[in-house]
Amino acid sequence: MALQQTLRALADPIRREILELLRPGRLSAGEIAARFSVTAASISRHLAVLREADLIRDRREGKYIYYELNASVLEEILLWIAALQGGKEEDHVEES
C-alpha cells in the first residue's frame, strides 16, 4: 500500500464524499458528477486520484464507466491505524 498516496487522496473533501457515495454500491461517472457543482473534468481528476490510490476500481460497460469502492485498501488503512493506536496504549500501560 502506498500510504502517502492514499492519505493524500483521502485529504480532499470531494474525494471523501465520492467514497461515501460509492459505499452503497457502484455508480457511473455521470451519476457521480451529477451530485457535485464542479465541472465533469474536475470530477474525472478526483476519480483518477482515487483510482491511482487504489481506493476505487473502475469497469467499462459499453459507453459507461462504473466505479466501486476497493474496501481492501480501506481495511489496510484501518489496520495500520489500529496498530498505531494499539502500540500507543501498550506504551502507556508499560509506563504506568
Q: What is the 3-state secondary structure (H, E, C) of 57-80?
A: EEEEECCEEEEEECHHHHHHHHHH
Task: Give the number of residues written for the chain.
Answer: 96
In tens, the pLDDT along 39-79 reads: 999 999 999 999 999 999 999 999 999 999 998 888 888 88
Domain 3-70 in CATH 3.40.50.140? The answer is no
Q: Residue 72 burial by CB count (10 A; 0-12/13-18/19+): exposed, middle or buried?
A: exposed
DSSP 39: -
pTM assigned to the model: 0.81
* Mean local confidence (pLDDT), 12-37: 96
Query: What does the block give as the cell for 76?
Result: 489496510
For residues 6 and 73, the answer to whether their CB atoms sit within 8 Å is: yes
Residue ranges of the domains in the chain? Answer: 3-70
How high is the pLDDT of residue 82?
92
Q: What is the pLDDT of residue 96?
A: 45
